[in-house]
Amino acid sequence: MLRFALGALLVLAPLAQAANELRFTLRSEPKTFNPLMVEDESSETVRYLTGGVLIRLNRYTQELEGELASKWKVLENGRRIDFELRPNVHFSDGTPFSCEDVAFTMDRLMDPALHTPAGDAFRSAPGAVETKCASPTSASVRFPGPVAALALQYDQVAIMSAHSPHKEAAVLGPFMLGEYKPGAFLVLERNPNYWKKDSNGRKLPYLDSIRLDIQSNRELELLRFRRGELDMVNKLDPEMFDRLSSEMPHNVVDAGPSLDSELIFFNQASSAPLPAYKLNWFRSAAFRRAISDAIHRDDLVRVVYKGHARASAGPVSPANKFWLNAALKPAVYSAQAALDELQRDGFHRSGDALADREGHRVEFSMITNAGNKLHERTLTLIQQDLAKIGIQLNVLTLDFPSLIERITRTYNYESVLMALTNVGLDPNDQMNIWLSSAQTHPWNPNQKTPETPWEAEIDKLMQAQAASQTPAQRKIAFDKVQQIVADQAPMVFLVNPNALSAVSPNLKNVTPALLRPQIYWNAERLYLGSGYVSQK
């Protein structure tokens, strides 16, 4: 009898809460509801919660799982992928899901006229992408060239209906757009036709709806969370986290280092309007390594990030378990090592100041975005660290559009502190950063041919790993890229901030992950009840 009662409680617990609504905020207005055109974080949140994908990356285990595709197989060295689709699946408006929808989505995704951001990852070679349907539940997609991590790329592709009159409003994800008041809120309602069920055979999702308030003010967001008006805050800064932690210790989650990196880099662009001697400094690997050695990363972690970050060793965060080159260690702070390196490169102390071999005093500016307290504090710490080796660092905070203009168009900057936000795990997601020909190659973009041998080597290795379908071979190539970056220090990686969030004790089934979206990655299994969040 007791066993039955407990069992009934377990089954009924989610049922009892099904009428509840999960509430959290979007920091800005979603720019689009077309899942193929998503670029901004708010639209990505809506896509994640409403879009149905063939394959999903489990944010917690970091492994691929079948969603709309029950099985898949990558063939022809990454040129082809075959899917076995789940039968009896329907879009939110009742339209049946079939291979035709996959073909329609692929056509839209690869349509050159649309320039879909998600399609970039599939564009490996010129030519058309062909989707064949042997049956309604069998799809085969063929690409003109090999696509690296082909299956993983489908995590970003929400399938659209080929026949629904509601177009992108017909979705296959756990929720669908219910109400939208621009500038105020969105309500995502439970998709009655969602295909997934829990182990007890109950249809998911448990939640009835999700209300996303558009709220850019972080202080107000925190205040509303405290009042119980919001159920979670998906990304907190360390100061807010500590404040909340002292008041509501059971409501905060520090999931450890995130995929993001804080870094600095120097302008090495040939067309930069900088004096030649400064370009020489910035193009010297010894100079860049010395700067790296002179920055006290442990103090950055302790003082700026209140302990909620980890000193960074390179471009891959420890959160990215597979692709991290574990042999790399963060630079150990040593002003003396930095000075020794600089002296070997022809620099010398001239009184308190440092001068190059031509007698120019080493003074340069570092820009960052205004209003970002963490960046401003980081720069102030770096300023004092560099002063110890005789370098004068001038800090310049700029509004964000001016900053982007300088680093991507006019190249009128000397060095910059910024964050590298990684959404994906795969090195292919960073192609636009590492290839010397890329428009967004940070320190010296749009190179016709690589200007340095080590950049040529990085290009070669990145292309090699992209062409290979063997994870082990790709790992070897990307490990070498990380080693070159550590040796040449074109970007000086500082810290990996932790993924910090706040969750109401009422929200159940929360298993915070390091990958975005950290808290609601399993939104279909979340429900509201009472108790404490279990930190895993």
Partner 1 sequence: MNRTQKIAIGVLAAVTLASLAAGWIAPSYAEQFRDFISAPPSAKFPLGTDELGRDRFARLLYGTRVSLLLAPAAALLSTLIAALLGGTAGYLGGRWERLVTSGIDVFLSLPWLFLLMAVRALLPLNTSPVTSVVLTFLLLGCLGWASPARMLRAGTRTLANSDYLVQARASGVAPARLFWRHLLPNLKPILAAQFWISVPVFILSEANLSLLGLGVAEPLPSWGAMLRDLENYTSVLQNPWMLAPAVLLVAVVSCLQLLLRTEETLPC
Tell whether residue 383 is a contact of partner 1 (CB under 8 A).
Answer: yes
Under rule CB under 8 A, how many of the chain's residues touch partner 1?
Answer: 33
Tell whether residue 299 is a contact of partner 1 (CB under 8 A).
Answer: yes
Q: What are phi and psi of 379, to 5 degrees?
A: -65, -40
Tell whether residue 215 is a contact of partner 1 (CB under 8 A).
Answer: no
Helix (H, G, I), strand (E, B) or coil at 149: coil
Tell whether residue 370 is a contact of partner 1 (CB under 8 A).
Answer: yes
Tell whether residue 303 is a contact of partner 1 (CB under 8 A).
Answer: yes
Contact window for partner 1 (CB under 8 A) among 35-43, 174-182, 297-305, 439-447: 297-305
Give 135 or 217: the residue with its C-beta nearer to partner 1. Answer: 217
Give 206 or 347: the residue with its C-beta nearer to partner 1. Answer: 347
The least CB distance from residue 89 to partner 1, in Å, is 49
Contact window for partner 1 (CB under 8 A) among 347-355, 361-369, 453-461, 497-505: 361-369
Tell whether residue 377 is a contact of partner 1 (CB under 8 A).
Answer: yes
The least CB distance from residue 265 to partner 1, in Å, is 15
Q: Are 132 and 139 in contact (CB under 8 A)?
A: yes
- Choice from 243, 348, 360, 460 touching partner 1 (CB under 8 A): 243
The least CB distance from residue 285 to partner 1, in Å, is 23
- Choice from 334, 402, 432, 469 touching partner 1 (CB under 8 A): 402
Rounded CA-CA distance 251/227 in Å is: 13
The least CB distance from residue 353 to partner 1, in Å, is 14
Q: Which of 466, 459, 458, 435 is nearest to 149 (CA)?
A: 466
Tell whether residue 363 is a contact of partner 1 (CB under 8 A).
Answer: yes
Report cis status (omega within 30 of 0) of the bond before 205: yes
User: Residue 142 gets which letter from DSSP?
Assistant: E
Tell whether residue 7 is a contact of partner 1 (CB under 8 A).
Answer: no
Contact window for partner 1 (CB under 8 A) among 362-370, 493-501, 504-512, 513-521: 362-370
Rounded CA-CA distance 49/51 in Å is: 6
Structure tokens at 36: 């193929």
Contact window for partner 1 (CB under 8 A) among 32-40, 155-163, 329-337, 388-396: 388-396
Tell whether residue 181 is a contact of partner 1 (CB under 8 A).
Answer: no
Inter-CA distances, 48 with 24, 157, 229, 514, 518, Å = 15, 10, 23, 16, 12
The least CB distance from residue 264 to partner 1, in Å, is 15
Tell whether residue 376 is a contact of partner 1 (CB under 8 A).
Answer: yes
Length of the chain (residues): 536
Residue type, 219: E
- Choice from 398, 419, 456, 464 touching partner 1 (CB under 8 A): 398
Tell whether residue 333 is a contact of partner 1 (CB under 8 A).
Answer: no
Rounded CA-CA distance 367/444 in Å is: 17
Rounded CA-CA distance 174/440 in Å is: 35
Give 3 or 227: the residue with its C-beta nearer to partner 1. Answer: 227
Rounded CA-CA distance 528/524 in Å is: 12
The least CB distance from residue 284 to partner 1, in Å, is 19
Give 293 or 479: the residue with its C-beta nearer to partner 1. Answer: 293
Tell whether residue 334 is a contact of partner 1 (CB under 8 A).
Answer: no
Inter-CA distances, 273 with 232, 362, 414, 450, Å = 46, 17, 9, 20
Give 152 or 382: the residue with its C-beta nearer to partner 1. Answer: 382
The least CB distance from residue 91 to partner 1, in Å, is 45
Q: What are phi and psi of 455, to 5 degrees?
A: -70, -35
Tell whether residue 364 is a contact of partner 1 (CB under 8 A).
Answer: yes
Rounded CA-CA distance 83/72 in Å is: 4
The least CB distance from residue 311 to partner 1, in Å, is 15
* Residue 185 parent element (H or E): strand 185-190
Residue type, 270: S
Contact window for partner 1 (CB under 8 A) among 78-86, 183-191, 341-349, 364-372: 364-372
Contact window for partner 1 (CB under 8 A) among 329-337, 365-373, 497-505, 516-524: 365-373
**Strand runs (DSSP E) across 247-388, as ranges?**
252-257, 261-266, 309-311, 348-350, 353-355, 363-369
Other CB atoms within 10 A of residue 44 CB: 18
**Residue 84, beta-bridge partner list:** 71, 138
Structure tokens at 446: 């749009």
Contact window for partner 1 (CB under 8 A) among 28-36, 55-63, 311-319, 409-417: 409-417
- Choice from 213, 293, 356, 414 touching partner 1 (CB under 8 A): 414
474 burial (CB, 10 Å; 0-12 / 13-18 / 19+) is buried
Tell whether residue 381 is a contact of partner 1 (CB under 8 A).
Answer: yes
Structure tokens at 335: 């002003």
- Choice from 91, 305, 333, 413 touching partner 1 (CB under 8 A): 413
Residue 233 CA, distance from chain mean position: 17
Give the relative orientation of helices 373-387 and 285-294 as an angle to the nearest 10 degrees. Answer: 100
Torsion of CA 108, 111, 114, 117, to 10 degrees: 80
The least CB distance from residue 44 to partner 1, in Å, is 27
The least CB distance from residue 512 to partner 1, in Å, is 24
Would you tell me which residues interact with partner 1 (CB under 8 A)?
219, 239, 243, 247, 299, 302-304, 363-365, 367, 370-373, 376-377, 379-381, 383-384, 394-399, 402, 412-414
